[in-house]
Each structure stands twice: as structure tokens, then as C-alpha cells.
Amino acid sequence: MIGARKTRRNDSRVIVHFDYDCFYASVFENENPALKSLPLAVQQKQIVVTCNYEARRRGLHKLALISEAKKIVPDLVIVLGEELGRFRDASKDLYRYLEGFTWSGKVERLGFDEVFMDITDIVDYNQNLLNPNDLAHSFFSLERNDPTVGFTFDATIFAGHTYPPQQMPSAISNSQGNDWLTTRLILGSHFAQHLRLGLDEEKGYTSSVGISTNKLLSKLVGNLNKPKAQTTLLPPYDMLEDGISYNAENTQESNVTMFIDGHDIGKIPGIGFKMAQRIRNHVLSRPPESGTGSGWGGTKESVTVRDVRLFPGMGPEMLERILGGPGVERGIGSKAWGLINGIDDTEIQKAKKVPSQISIEDTYGRLDTMPQVLKELRRLATSLIKRMHTDLLEDDDDPESGSGSKKRWSANPKTVRLSTRPRPPPNADGTRTRSFNRISRSGPLPSFVFNLNNGIDSIVERLVQECLVPMFKRLHPPHAVWNLSLINIGVTNMVETAREDGGGAGGRDISKMFKRQESTLREWRVADRDVPPDPVHGNDNNHHHNHQQAEPSAGDGAPNDDNDHDDNDDILASSEDAIYETQQNSIDDAWQEEEDDDDERPSCEICRRCGAMMPAFAIPAHERFHSLEQEEE
């Protein structure tokens, strides 16, 4: 107990964990609502990878063999889940929905069906808005800049379930000195409920939600009440003293300790299978008795967090000796000790606009001929290209395109990688050693992959024949004997392209800006060409009139004469004071269309050498261009 008490905590954050209920089955149910009332199982290979709650109510569990599942639930509806595209698309849609409510962008997806959100900044903001004299009639603001967007709530009670369960909803209490954290968790619970109900009503997906101060606790506490529910872990998170002395009688136990103590050590996120096995071996002073299908990492004996925490001498140093070794990160003992005490300072990663890599793979019982390999390469490459189109293409709203539905690449992967996993030859006794080792080859991704005018089939065939087959032959020479258990094709080394919002590796797409500027300023362009002088009349009034008309006459027909507009692409405005202000506004409008989020419109300047008008930031590069011209001369 003392060791846990001395471990430092940081509970300034508010973290929410969403776990979509029976996600894979729910995707099919959303596609076909008639399935919601039927027992439904999703099949991959010959296994039930998941099933809905109606099937679970009848005794079916995931990872059961299909043959066994049909015996348990004779009227079971089975759907194939081999193609992951529908799940990926649904997951991205739900992710975008949740991300739309954040201010910091700290939304992290874990697999297809889990999402972490750091809502600390939203809670900070709303905590400052609370009226302590009327907490029961509070308003939760969802936007900083619009106080009307939000919802009313009672800031004296938690939304949903709590741990420990409260007999009756109770108001904030100052007696234990936890009012600050309690208020923050109350705010987090109401915000989480708003999002959870929104997912159900607007998207048709239910979820189980946990609210606490780090990823570890929010994920674990969300498991307590499933499905369609949420749970908040109540303070105190530290052991509290009465201010006089420290002993068992006057110390209130931490709810974190009480909650996490009952979990098996292998159920703690961040403590993997091998780590849990080593800890069990040490606590039991022997390997745990193994079992099949048991719930504790393949053992019949559960070693709880409490068993580990109270083991004589247990602490960071002992865990370092148990878990450390060659190739293990330094400080693993302190990290594991923190997790055992409910401490997890891992940050929620900000949302990435594009993935770091995209890969497709499949496993095989036997794959040992080139025709089989070619068939699989084509199939996997087709899935890869479709994935790239799904994940990396975005709408191109460029008016020059002539179509609102035209697509553009948000990122270009530069490298393609082929990986295989050869099956080891059989041993002398006929058994085969299991191997997870992969071998890989990589190379530049051909540019034809990004051609959106060609069909997927033609791109796939070229990619297979010109790229993947040569890689495969370098991995497995033609005369060698091989038998593969896995093939993986992936693209990596993503380079983001310029985006309309100014993001991406290239920043604002300046080529688009100049195209729009060209279109906007076309009617104001003054063509630089010789024209006969205007006739001079003796009448002063006529002279004045002709002087007013001299500026347009210099470029007469230029705005409408498409054959002449290329004579000079620069905007010669330095001597045309009468139209300078209009040109300035037109350029600003072109920039404003390019990025509506800018608070300040960019100023424009005129090049002293050639008279071209351009944004101020482009002047240094433009002058450098003139300098290079002089050097070449």
C-alpha cells in the first residue's frame, strides 16, 4: 500500500474512451437493419470473429469455429467479413464525427472500433463558465466562438454509471478535498454522453464509454457497463489522510487502487502476454498451470494486480529485474509499476490526415507455385489500390476541373514493399517449427499508380508485372523451393501534398492560387504591344476625353482576345494607377477563395524590375529569379 501511495500521479487531464458495441456486426446491421433482431455472426476463415448481442445471449462467443456456432445457434445468420473495406469506411466515418467535436485535435483511433479523446481543453473552458450558485442549471458550450452552441445539464451529478456505484446521485462534496477533480469528471461525463447519444442517433452505432484521467483507466472503466452505457471512475484517485497521521484507520482507499486491484495482470493495457507470464511466474514461484480457452492468457490461474502489488519487495526495481534483459527498453520496471498503480502518462496523439503506411496481407495453408502467387499478387494489389483510393483521395474543388466530383491525391507514397513469410521445412520427426519471420523487398512506387484516368485493373497488372514479380523473384529465385504462409503488399514513405487549408508538406497549393489569380485578373490585364497613337484634337475637352480612354485603348481587345493573351503573362499595373485598387482587391479575392480561414488578407506588391504584381511573400523568390537571369547572362 505504501508503494502505491508514494507513486506520483498526474490527474489534470480528462480522457474519454469509446468502444463501439459489436462493431463488425453493427456494420452489417446498419447496412441491413433487419439483421438487428436476428442472431448474427461475422466469419473470417472458419472462425466467428465477432457476433451481436442476440447471438451472445444464446450462448455464442467470438473465436468459436463456424461448425460449433451452427450447433449452438441453429438459426444463426452468418456473413463473411473477409473484405475489410466496409469496416474501415465505417470506422473513418465515426472517427470524423467524434473528431468534429474536439478543439485540440487529440483524437486517437485504436483499431477500427476504439477511440481515445483528450477533452481537457473543453473541460477547462466549461469549468470556468460554471455558476457555483446554480450548478443544477448549467450550460455546456461546444464552441468557443458561439455561446449558443451546446446543451443544458446538471453539473451536480454524473451522467451514466460510476465506479464505485453511487446509491443516489449526489452533489459535489467538499468534505474530501476532491471537488475540483469531481467537477471536471462530471463535465467529462456529460460531454461523453452527448457524443455517445449522437453516435447512436445520427450514425446508428452504440458504444460503451469510459471517463477518467488517463488512457489506461478510461479504457478499463468503460468495460464495466456494456453495451450502450458509460462509466466514470470517481475520486479519490490518491490515498487520503485525515491530516493527523497515516494509518489504515484514518486513510481512505484510492478508488483507482480498489478498481484496478481486481484485474488479472494480463488484462492491464500496456502489459503484454510475455510480460504478464514473467510476472505470474515470479509471484507463483513457478509457471502457472496452463489451460485451454481460459481467460488469463492461456492459464488456469489468475494472478491479480493486487497479488502483484502486495508481493513482498515488489516495486520498480524488482519488476526491472523480472522484465528486463537484452533488447528490452530501459525503465520497463518503472513503467510496469506505474500501470499496476493506474498511472499512464501516454499522450493522446493528434489526428493524422493520412496514414503512415497502407498494407494488405493474407495468410495461406500452402502457397508454393508461381501461378498461385500471381493470382494472389493481383488480388492483394487490387485491394491495395482500392485502399489507396479510399484513404488518400479527396475531393478537388478546383473550378478549373469542370467537375465537382473530381479527386486529387492528399498524399503520395513513394515506396512499395513486398513481404513474404516462408514456411520452414519439416523437421526429421515430421513436425514443423513455427516461424513468424518475414523477408521483404522494397523499391520506388511507379508514378502510373497515381493516374486516375486509367482503370484499376490496368494499373494492377502493370504493378504486378513491372514491380511486384521482379521483387518476388529476388526474394525467391525461380529454381528455389519455397512454401509461403503469408504475403504482404504495402506502400510507405508518405509525402503529403498541398491542401486547400494550407496544410500538408507543400503548404498552400500556390499553383492553384496563380490559376485563380489568372482567371480573376484576366479582364484587368494590360497587354504590352505597340498600337498607333490616338489622334490629337485641338479641343481641350476632346483631349481630356481621349486621355481618359488611352488606358483601355492600349489593350483594346486583350481581355476578349484569347489569341493574344499569352503575349505577356505579367500584370503591368505599375503605370496604371486608375485600376491598381481594383487589381489589389481582385488578388485579395483570389487568395480569400483559396483560404477562407485566413483572418488577414495577404498584401500584394509590384516587382520594380518587370512590373509583375504578386503577394508580398513571393517577392524575395521573384527577385532571386531575376538575379539568376543576370548570372546566366
Higher local confidence (pLDDT), 527 or 586: 527
Higher-pLDDT residue of 548, 481: 481
pLDDT value for 619: 63
pLDDT, mean of residues 467-472? 97
Max distance between CA atoms of the chain, in angstroms, equals: 117
In the chain, the amino acid numbered 251 is T
Any idea which of 188-202, 556-570, 600-614 has the lowest mean pLDDT?
Answer: 556-570
Summarised one tens digit per residue, pLDDT across range 206-245 is 999 999 999 999 999 999 999 999 999 999 998 755 433 3
Task: Report the alpha-carbon distance of residue 510 to residue 498 in Å, rounded.
Answer: 9
Q: Average of pLDDT values for 250-257?
A: 79
Q: Which residues pair with 491 in a beta bridge?
A: 358, 416
Q: What is the DSSP code string of 517-558? A: HHHHHGGG-------PPPPP-S-HHHHHHHHHHHHHHHTTTT
pLDDT, mean of residues 431-451 = 90
Q: Per-residue pLDDT for 529 more than 60?
A: no
Q: Where are the domains of the chain?
A: 2-18+85-260, 264-344, 358-496, 510-632
Tell whether the model's pLDDT for residue 556 goes beyond 50. Answer: no
- Can you give the pLDDT at residue 436? 79
Calculate the alpha carbon distances from 264 to 150, 186, 203, 286, 622 in Å: 40, 29, 35, 17, 66
Q: Of all helices (H) and strands (E), which one includes residue 24?
A: helix 23-31
Q: Which amino acid is located at 470 in the chain?
A: P
Mean pLDDT of all residues in 158-185 = 77
Q: Which CATH superfamily is domain 2-18+85-260 in?
A: Reverse transcriptase/Diguanylate cyclase domain (3.30.70.270)
CA distances from 410 to 42, 349, 389, 391, 432 (A): 33, 20, 10, 9, 45
Which of 54, 108, 114, 500 is flagged as catalytic? 114
Instruction: Kindly report which listed range (98-107, 242-251, 548-557) carries the lowest average pLDDT score.
Output: 548-557
Q: Residue 59 class from Cβ within 10 Å (0-12 exposed, 13-18 middle, 19+ buried)? A: exposed
**Positive/negative CA dihedral, 97, 98, 104, 107:** negative
Give the integer Cα–Cα distance in Å for 212 and 14.
6
Say what the pLDDT of residue 152 is.
Answer: 98
- Residue 551: active-site member: no
Cα-based angle 425, 427, 429 (whole degrees, multiple of 5): 145
Cα separation of 448 and 544, whole Å? 61
Alpha-carbon span 465 to 473, nearest angstrom: 11
CB neighbours of 226 closer than 8 A, spacing ≥ 6?
A: 19, 21, 208
Residue 285 confidence class, pLDDT cut points 50, 70, 90: confident
Query: Which residue has better confidence, 335 or 541?
Result: 335
Q: What is the pTM of this model?
A: 0.69
Cα–Cα dist 537/543, whole Å: 6
- Over pLDDT 70: what percentage of the chain? 70
Model pLDDT, residue 85: 82
Weakest mean pLDDT among 287-291, 331-335, 372-376: 287-291
232: DSSP letter: E
Q: Which of 475, 483, 478, 488 lies closest to 365 in space, CA to CA?
A: 483
Identify which has the larger pLDDT, 583 or 40.
40
- How confident is the prediction for the chain on average, in pLDDT? 80
Length of the chain in terms of residues written: 633
What pLDDT shows up at residue 581?
Answer: 32
Which of 215, 213, 163 lies closest to 187 in space, CA to CA? 213
pLDDT tens digits, one per residue of 385-397: 999 998 899 887 6
For 591-614, how does the pLDDT look when each residue is reduced to its tens digit (9 = 90+)?
233 333 333 334 455 566 665 655
Contact residues for 147 (Cβ-Cβ < 8 A; gap 6+): 141
pLDDT number for residue 133: 96
Per-residue pLDDT band for 82 (boundaries 50, 70, 90) equals confident
Q: How many CB atoms lie within 10 A of CB 199?
A: 18
Concatenated DSSP letters of 372-385: HHHHHHHHHHHHHH
**Predicted pLDDT of residue 615:** 56
- Using alpha carbons, select from 250, 254, 212, 219 the residue that is nearest to residue 237: 254
Q: Which of 113-122, 266-275, 351-360, 615-624 has the highest mean pLDDT?
A: 113-122
- The CATH T-level fold of domain 358-496 is Dna Ligase; domain 1 (3.30.1490)
**pLDDT confidence bin for 566, thresholds 50/70/90:** very low
C-alpha gyration radius of the chain = 33
